[in-house]
Amino acid sequence: MPKMNIDMIKGRTPDEIKQILDISYEVMLAAFGAPDGDRYQIVTQHEPYEMQILDTGLGIERTDKVLVFSLVTRPRTTEQKVNFYNNLVSELHEKTGLRKEDVMINLVVNSDEDWSFGYGEAQFLTGKL
C-alpha cells in the first residue's frame, strides 16, 4: 500500500530505472511486511536545474545521480522506518553502485480511509482489502 514516488535527474537507462524500482519494492516489502503485489511506484525525471537537494548543513555532497524517495504509507514503527532507510540505501549501493549520500527518503503517514484504489471506493473501509 505504500505509494512510492522516486524523483531523479534525467539520464538513467530504462534498465537502471527498473533495477531501482525492483530493489526499492523488495526492500519495502521486507521492511513493512506489505503483501506481494502491493506495488505502487512512480518515477519522475527532471532536468538538472529542476532538483536542488541540499544537505541541511550535514555536509552531504550530492551528485547528478541523487534519488529522492517519497512514500505515502500507513503508520509504521520506528524500527520499520529505520530498517527501510538503512536497507534501501545499502541495497541500492551494493547492487547499483549508487553513493549512499545520493539517497534521500521521506515518509508521509496516512490512514486506511485516505485510500481509494479504483471505482471511487474506499476498499480498506469496505472490507475488499
Give the chain as a DSSP string. Answer: --EEEEEEES---HHHHHHHHHHHHHHHHHHHTPPTT--EEEEEEE-GGG-----TTS-PPP-TT-EEEEEEES---HHHHHHHHHHHHHHHHHHH---GGGEEEEEEE--GGG---BTTB-HHHHT--
Angle of the 78-96 helix axis to the 14-32 helix axis, nearest 10: 150
Residues annotated as part of the active site: 2
